[in-house]
Structures are given as structure tokens and as C-alpha cells.
Amino acid sequence: MRQLPSWPARAGVGFVRACAVVVVTMPVPVVWAAAVALAIRWGAGNPWSWLPASVLICAGTLALSRPVCRAVRRLVARWTATDIPSGHRQAPPVVRMSTGYWWNGFSYERTRRDALLDQRWRIRWGDPATWRDVRFALLAPVTAGLIAAVPAAGVTLAVLGFVRSAPGPQALGALGLVAALGTAPYAWRPIEPLAVRFLGVPATTALAERVDELTAQRADTTVAQAAEIRRIERDLHDGAQARLVLLGLSLATAEKLMGTDPDRARKLMREARAGAATSLAELRELVRGINPPVLNERGLVDAVRALALDSPLDAAVDADLPHRLDPPIESAVYFGVAELLTNAVKHAGATRVRVRLARVGADLVVGVEDNGRGGAVMPADGGLAGLRRRLAVFDGTLEITSPAGGPTRATMVVPCESL
């Protein structure tokens, strides 16, 4: 049986955490106190002295609210394993239009700098998460901050009391020490429910963001499907269709020459047979680009292994998947691995790569690690961004870790209850 920590140990840990809560939640009141002190120093009877103080209070509150809330989220996640998403809106990519203007998701601007500046301020002031952070930064000091300050105040009272020889101060010091030891294990705990209540994303906001995300994903899927259809049409028109037309002409010519020039007719028929084999190979390659047969017939693990065998890299595949997945998920993960292997060859200059497929809880986790030069980036219009959008359709994620000099590690996580 696991032994519970002793009360002194719990009190010590609680005291440190309570002090951390005080430090994190009190910057805004400190700014307010400094502004009031400056206004009084400049002249309490002068009404204009409060104008710069008010500006300092507003600017300080807005500037500190996001760092304060970010620090609170990290402390809560570290201490209680409760993840509180920030819910801040992500800036869409700034795109230059054919007219020369830049579109930032809200308006058209003449220069990219103006588009980014306008986008930054629109998101900053129009994001509900910004005002949630401000509300929490104002509320936390007078709630969780005051409660967390009790152990520190008790220790301070104990120190001040014990340094004196009078019985009265010493009694107050003993009372402060008892209060500090008794409240230390619990004084930091109100920060968690307070953060969950006031920093969590409301259900209506989360639903609206999800609708926007699905709308964007639907648009991306529609564009991708249209591009894929055009690719198939182009490949058929330029490849197999042209060869089949030539095949028909060769057979018609051979039919006419059968009675007058049999040797030439047989030659044309041999060429037609070779053309038919080439057309069949092209059609197979085209179908393989849509969905490889090994993926349909044998599943994701064997398809990834076949992909690794075809790769010029020294590729190793470790897989532990007990069951087949849904075909759309298998297809998305397969082409994701293909994209990552291609990047390892084309951009990273790698010689070795390792692919891992495993079940972690109810998630499919796929890791691809190469020994390339690293420094991988994810531009908004690149293949990795497209892969992230493809996985987002299934609530999946893609994380890239690529320090300069390597190695590059890519992790795809896809929720999959069928595992």
C-alpha cells in the first residue's frame, strides 16, 4: 500500500504552492497600488493626477492579464493534471490576392505589415478569451490570492511574535504558526476550481469555434476533392486515355493490313499489346495514388511497412495495433506517414527513419523520427499544414519537434474508439 506523506511534508509542499499562487495572482493589485501611490505623490488634491494613474491601471491590467492566466493554467496543470485550454483565437494566414492587396481574414490592406497589424488588434480586442483573462486577473487576487496568503501571513506573524520576549506577541506568534501549518496543505487548492470556472471556455463559445473549425475543414475538404478530381482527369487524359486511343488506332490499322501485309499487322498487334500493358500499369499507379491496394486488402500496418520498403531510407516500422481501423482513418494516417517519409528524403537529408504505430488509451499514436538536419517548419500552405487539416477532420493532431541539427520527430494522434 502506498504510504501517505506526513503532515509536515504536506504542509511544506502546500506552503510553497500557496506562495506561488500569491506571486502569480498579485501582479495586477501591485500595479493598482503603485498607480494610486503615484497619484497621491503627484498631488492628491489635483484631479489631473489621477488621469495618468488611470491609464497605468488600465494598461497594466490588460498587459498582465494574459501572462497571469497563462501562469495559472500551467500551475493548475502541473499540480492537479487539469488542462484548461486558453481558447484564444488563432490568427488565419495572411494571403496576397491577385489584386495586390493582402487579406488577413477581416479586411484587405495595401501591405502585409498593415494586414498583420490590423489582424493582431482585431483578434486582441475581439477575442472573448482576452476579456475572460482580464476578469480572472481582477477576481483571482481577492479570492484565491487572499486565501493562499494565509500561510505566508501566519509565518510572518510567527516570526514577528517569536523575536519578542513579551508573552502577548509570543502567543500571537504561536497562533500564527498554528494557522500556517493548519492551512498550508489547503490554501492553494481554491485556485483550481476558480480557474476552471472562469478561465474555461464556455460551452457556447466552444460550440461556435467548433462550427467555424468544421466549416473551414469542409472548405478544405471540398478544395482537396476538387484538386484530386482534376488530377485524376489530367492523368487519365494525358496518360491512359491517350494510350488507349493509340491502341484502338493500331488495332484498326492491323485489321486492315491483315489480308495485304500480315507481317506489318502482327508487328502492330505486338505494339498494341505492349501499349495495353503500359496502360494497365498506368491505371494501376493511378488507383494506387487514390488508395493503395495493400491498404484496402491488408490494413494500415502492412501498408506502412510496404511504404517503408519502397522508401530509399533505412526504415524500420514498429507496430502494435490489434484491430483494423475505419477506412477513412487508415487512409488519412497512411498518407500522413507517406508525407513525412517524403519530407525526410526531400528536405531533411535523412538516411534513417523509424515509424511507430501504437495504441495509447483510446488514441492511435503514430510517431515518425528521422536523423536528418532538422529545422523543419510548417508554412500555412505547405504539406504539413495540409496534413494537420486532414487529421483535424477526425479530431486528430500533428506535433512537430525539429531542433536545428535534428532529429525531427513528428507525432500524429487520432482518437479511435474502435481500438
Of 55-59, 283-287, 370-374, minimum mean pLDDT range = 283-287
Write down the pLDDT at residue 13.
87
Write down the pLDDT at residue 267.
79
Higher-scoring residue by pLDDT: 16, 220 = 16
Task: Classify residue 405 as left (phi > 0), alpha (psi -120 to 50) or beta.
Answer: left
Higher-scoring residue by pLDDT: 227, 330 = 330
Q: Is the pLDDT of residue 72 over 90?
A: yes
If one counts every other C-beta atom within 10 angstroms of the C-beta of residue 94, the result is 17
3-state secondary structure of 414: strand
CATH of domain 207-290: 1.20.5
Residue spans of the domains in the chain: they are: 7-85+127-199, 89-126, 207-290, 297-415
Q: Where are the beta strands (DSSP E) in 171-301?
A: none
CA max distance for the chain: 132
pTM score, whole prediction:
0.52
Are 136 and 65 in contact, with CB atoms under 8 Å apart? yes
Write down the pLDDT at residue 335.
81
Write down the pLDDT at residue 191.
92
Q: How far apart are the first and last CA of the chain?
A: 32
Q: What are 383-407's pLDDT values in tens digits?
A: 777 777 777 777 788 888 888 877 8
Give me the DSSP letters along 331-362: HHHHHHHHHHHHHHHHTS--SEEEEEEEEETT
Q: How far apart are CA 398 and CA 389, in angstroms?
A: 9
Write down the pLDDT at residue 224.
59
If one counts every other C-beta atom within 10 angstroms of the C-beta of residue 156, the result is 14
Cα–Cα–Cα angle for 186, 28, 192, rounded to 5 degrees: 30
Residue partners of 84: CB distance under 8 A and separation at least 6:
73, 76, 77, 195, 196, 199, 200
**One fold for both 207-290 and 297-415?**
no
Higher-scoring residue by pLDDT: 282, 169 = 169
CATH architecture of 297-415: 2-Layer Sandwich (3.30)
Cell, residue 330? 487508415
Write down the pLDDT at residue 1.
40
With cut-offs at 50, 70 and 90, classify the pLDDT of residue 242.
low
Q: Is the pLDDT of residue 418 over 90?
A: no
CA dist list (Å): 105 to 108, 115, 121, 216, 325: 8, 9, 12, 12, 37
With cut-offs at 50, 70 and 90, classify the pLDDT of residue 222.
low
Q: How far apart are CA 281 and CA 275, in angstroms?
A: 10
3-state DSSP percent of the chain in helix, strand and coil, to 5: 65, 10, 25
